[in-house]
Amino acid sequence: MSTMFSQLPDGDNRIQAIEISTTKDPICLINVYLPSRGTDKGHDAYRAALDILKELLLKYQRTHSIIIAGDFNASFHRQYKDTQDELFKNFCKENQIELPSNYPIDHTYHQGDSKSQIDYILTKSRENDDESTEYMQVKILREGHNTSDHYPVSAEFSVRLRTAQKQLNGDIVTKINWEKVDKTSYEQNLKEELKDRKYLNMRTPYGIEQATNQLISGLTNALNLSYPRRKSKFSRKKKISWSPQLAKAVGLSKKAFYLWKKVGSPPSKNNIYNLKRLETKRSVRSIQRQQTADKRIKLHEEIMMASDRDKDLFFRLIKTQRSSSSQFTHTLRTEEKEASTPNEINNVFKDHFEKLAKTNSNPNFNIGHDNLVKLDMETIVNICENQEITIQPVTSTEITKRISILKRKKAGDVEGLTAEHLIYGGTELTEFLVTLINNIFYTKHVPEVIKKGLLTPVHKKDKDPTIPSNYRGITVISIICKILELCIRARIEGTLNKHQNKLQKGFTKGASSINIALLISEAINEAKDKNECLILITLDAEKAFDVVDHIHLFWKLYHQGINGASWLLIKELYNKTTTQVKSQGYISETFVNEQGVKQGGILSANFYKAYNKNILDTLESTNIGIKIGTNYVGCPTCADDIMLCAGSEHDASTQLRIIENCTKNDRVKINSKKTEILMINKKNKDINLQLFNEKNRRKAKH
């Protein structure tokens, strides 16, 4: 239950707010104890409290259903006129705060002969609000054992809580230091955990599922017995380190802000309170900038000193220096709402990546081709199921080799397992994996537990960090799935490489992006030498890896030589894969991936190259584009980045029409707004291009 409720950082000692996570909009429950009636000074305190309450409403009213409960020290139903009551009523009217329907009218407070109703549970009306608050039932409880001068007020309403949300704060397990793990003890404990081979000896889907669960729990238990990690009771939140100078400046700024608010927040820049507020605010920012500069200088000094004495420290400091401070955000905005708490931000990320993972219809896509692919797929499934083409079994030597190339000191998967769990597992683990993977090869069944991925949003450099689409989803797949994918890749990579277009240099052994740069440089030099026109166009596929259509991918793999049991296993590997989003201390609900190849998966790059091969083949077959000598270099490509090289405006337009037709067939969208043009030896830099019916007169930037 604790994961469904979280305290919000706003308010003061009289006003506190908590967030209740629901499957629809979250609820912001604001608890109040407003100042009592009395003197004019008391009314000033009441006004100040209402100002704080209004700030909360303005912040959360667009993204939350709001309930306000507590002692308002004012009444809707007092018989005589009261100044504080009028302040309260006007505030509620201005902010659309109201009593739930059928609200009981009776006193909730008594003192001697005086009685009044000053304790309320109120709701804020909202367009398209969840109907749960509409049917809220409020009761005033007359309990005999109550000794307070206030009667309790309760409210009952129905909501569906977001049960799968998981907060990582609380008991924090420290990161594993494998240098301190007793490796011999770990290997022996794991051997004991994997001793029972009852499920492993079953060559059935059920046996594979149970054996995989046994392996995961065995790896976890063996480590816990060999290296009992301490649990830290503090929060993961980074401790803010303020210098005495900054702490003093912040205190003065807060005091100036309070005094400015107290006199009614005058906007005039000539007002003494506003001048003081702005002056102290500038002082805080100046000190912050100075401390940031000092910290940067200190980091540079540490890098220079570490380069001579400690290589590990040197590279760690370099990584810190290169990392962007904008990769974390305190606010995320979409067209529908704005998220400002870690829980909300995680939910927005989850909604964004879940939307990307769903197949969507697009009127620009070629529906006729789509139907032909689906029809052909039915035949392909029957062919592969009846083929006697099996998968070459793995051996102990191969599994040992696959484990040895895993990268150490990387993030754990959704089960908390890392490469080190396998590296130090010993021969017993190797033999267990050999049998398990051969059973998977034989049955073509992939256990559900290793289809889970843990996605972390990574900010794209120089992009607005408040927009979810400016984050790339990097998925950590199961460590066991990594071994499986490495084994599959070893069996299909040769076939795929034979079909790979020669102009595709991304993620290719023996090639790099430098080869692409060399081709383009040579093309530019040749155009200059011959004084010929050269038009270079860069193309950007929107969310390239995220929107790969699974049916089209399997269809393309079959026509590139992957068949039989290997094809069926790959199809099963992508069947109902799931993802959870991890950000700012929260893990989201699980969602199913209907499309896309995971950025971080072993096979993802191979599959994407197979997916966009048709575009390169079609361009090359038309022979439209430039040549260096007799070699066609009209579309040099690095993974999903394509550069069109044309000798005339006509050829460039033809290439774009080919791209348009191919992407419609492949269910891919090119972002025409991100299309860039470079022209060599062309006096008139204006050029007419058309892409996806968008007629633009584009001017080259260079």
| 299 located within any domain | yes
pLDDT at 324 over 50: no
Tell whether the model's pLDDT for residue 421 goes beyond 90. yes
**CB distance 476 to 411 below 8 Å:** yes
Residue 124 maps to a domain:
yes
350 is a domain residue:
no
Boundary (domain end) residue, out of 103, 136, 156: 156
Dist CA 122 CA 108 (whole Å): 15
Q: Is the pLDDT of residue 326 over 50?
A: no
Number of structural domains the chain divides into: 2
CB atoms within 10 A of CB 228: 8
Mean pLDDT of 351-366: 89
- Are 39 and 143 contained in the same domain? yes
Query: pLDDT > 70: what percent of the chain?
Result: 86
Q: How far apart are CA 54 and CA 30, in angstroms?
A: 11
pLDDT of residue 289: 84
Cα 688 to Cα 414: distance, rounded to the nearest angstrom: 50
Q: Is the Cβ–Cβ distance between 489 and 392 less than 8 Å?
A: no
Q: Decide: 202 and 437 in contact? Cβ < 8 Å.
A: no
511 falls in which pLDDT band (50, 70, 90)? confident
* pLDDT-derived band at 617, boundaries 50, 70, 90: very high
pLDDT digits (tens, 9 = 90+) for 125-150: 765 554 445 568 899 988 767 778 89
Strand 641-646's sheet: what is its strand order? Answer: 637-638, 641-646, 534-539, 676-680
Helix H or strand E encompassing 455: strand 452-459
Nearest to 499 by CA among 392, 602, 601, 614: 614
DSSP structural state of residue 673 = G
Task: Tell which of 156, 190, 219 closes a domain.
Answer: 156
Task: Specify the DSSP element, H or E, that contains 691.
Answer: strand 686-691
Structural domain includes residue 313 = yes
Does residue 360 or residue 437 have the better pLDDT?
Answer: 437
- Partners of 164 in beta bridges: none
- Examine residue 650 and state whether it is found in any structural domain, yes or no: no
Q: 653: part of which helix (H) or strand (E)?
A: helix 649-666
Chain segment 246-271, per-residue pLDDT in tens: 888 988 988 998 898 888 888 888 89
pLDDT above 90 as % of the chain? 48
Q: Are 430 and 399 in contact (CB under 8 A)?
A: yes
Confidence of residue 235 (pLDDT cuts 50, 70, 90): very low
Domain that holds residue 115: 2-156
User: Is residue 675 domain-resident?
Assistant: no
In a domain, 517, yes or no: no
Give the mean pLDDT of 558-564. 96
Q: What is the pLDDT of residue 353?
A: 94
Instruction: Output the six-digit token pair for 571.
Output: 């199809």
pLDDT for 655-682, tens place per residue?
Answer: 999 999 999 999 988 877 778 888 887 6
**What pLDDT does residue 234 have?**
44
What are 35-49's pLDDT values in tens digits? 987 655 668 889 989
- In the DSSP assignment, the letter for residue 446 is -
State pTM to two decimals.
Answer: 0.66
What is 93-154 written as a DSSP string? HHTTEEPPTT------EEETTEEE--EEEEEE--TT--TTGGG-EEEE---TT--SSB--EE
User: Which residues, 6 or more positions from 382, have their beta carbon under 8 angstroms from its beta carbon?
Assistant: none
Residue 92, domain member (yes or no): yes
pLDDT in tens, 459-468: 888 788 889 9
Amino acid code (one letter) for 115: K
Distance between CA atoms of residues 369 and 362, nearest Å: 13
| Pairing between β-strand 686-691 and β-strand 338-339 as defined by DSSP bridges | unpaired
Residues 12 and 144 in one domain: yes
In which band, very low, low, confident or very high, does the pLDDT at 170 lie, cut at 50, 70 and 90? very low
